[in-house]
Amino acid sequence: MSDKSKAVVLVSGGLDSATALAMAIQDGFEAYAMSFRYGQRHAIEYECAKKVCAQQGVTSHVAVDIDLRTFGGSALTADIDVPKNRGSGEMSIGIPVTYVPARNTIFLSFALAYAETLGSSDIYIGVNALDYSGYPDCRPEYIAAYERMANLATKAGVEGRQRTKIHTPLIQLTKALIIKRGLDLGVDYTLTSSCYDPGPNGVACGKCDSCQLRLKGFREAGVRDPIRYA
């Protein structure tokens, strides 16, 4: 048995969650990673999540299958075209079509159940409120409200045995700072995938909002992005 405390870490296979995982381990936690297979068009993400977890030496990695396609309405799960070549001005206006209804709320709810079962009171999620494409469920006020609800939801919270803490170590960092921090911690970004619309063999398009934010982040960090682009 380890003396370390356990933390549940949501790992998508993207750049942000790979960095959040490294930060959880750096904070001294034993990492229990959790990924979701949610009918996303970019199933390549899950393969990346597995590699990221293996490289960073997590204690356990569980995958949860859920079908968000039941609800439709997003370019990440349905047949809507992913927007390409938008400038940062255009990206910052409103909430994009790539928004998935209540996605982080669903993910955090499974993480909460997993944490309670493990006897853990710590959950890490790599949300970001700066260059984040406008998702409402990435904002600090949302996370604070989630944490408050979680502490009323669970047996452990009610019995006063533990208070759940939702860690969001990236929430106020720029993409460039996230990348620098990750590189310092030994994150291998070759294993990550950020593209909303990858081609065959998982090659990133370089044009969707997510690719553009990633490329800009590497540029500003003064480092070459190690993945392949179309």
Three-state DSSP class for residue 117: helix
- In the bound state with a copy of itself, the residue whose beta carbon lies nearer, of 54 and 158, is 158
**Helix residue spans in 30-102 (DSSP H):** 44-56, 88-91
For position 158 contacting a copy of itself by CB under 8 A, the verdict is: yes
- In the bound state with a copy of itself, the residue whose beta carbon lies nearer, of 29 and 146, is 146
Q: Distance between CA 157 and CA 162 in Å, rounded?
A: 6
Question: With contact defined as beta carbons under 8 Å apart, do 22 and 56 qualify?
Answer: yes
- In the bound state with a copy of itself, the residue whose beta carbon lies nearer, of 5 and 105, is 105
For position 129 contacting a copy of itself by CB under 8 A, the verdict is: no
Residue selected from 22, 25, 150, 171 as contacting a copy of itself according to rule CB under 8 A: 150
Q: Distance between CA 63 and CA 36 in Å, rounded?
A: 6
- In the bound state with a copy of itself, the residue whose beta carbon lies nearer, of 98 and 192, is 98
Residues numbered 49-68 forming contacts with a copy of itself, rule: CB under 8 A: 62, 64-68
**Strand 60-65 with 122-124, pairing:** unpaired
Question: Which amino acid, one-letter code, is at 181?
Answer: R
Residue selected from 81, 89, 152, 222 as contacting a copy of itself according to rule CB under 8 A: 152
For position 145 contacting a copy of itself by CB under 8 A, the verdict is: yes
Q: Distance between CA 221 and CA 128 in Å, rounded?
A: 17
Residue selected from 29, 32, 46, 99 as contacting a copy of itself according to rule CB under 8 A: 99
**Helix residue spans in the chain (DSSP H):** 15-26, 44-56, 88-91, 103-118, 140-153, 155-158, 175-184, 209-221
In whole angstroms, the minimum distance from the beta carbon of 127 to a copy of itself comes to 12
Q: Kindly list the residues in this chain that would bind a copy of itself in the complex (CB under 8 A).
A: 62, 64-68, 70-73, 95, 99-106, 108-110, 112-114, 116-117, 136-137, 139, 141-142, 145-146, 148-150, 152-155, 157-159
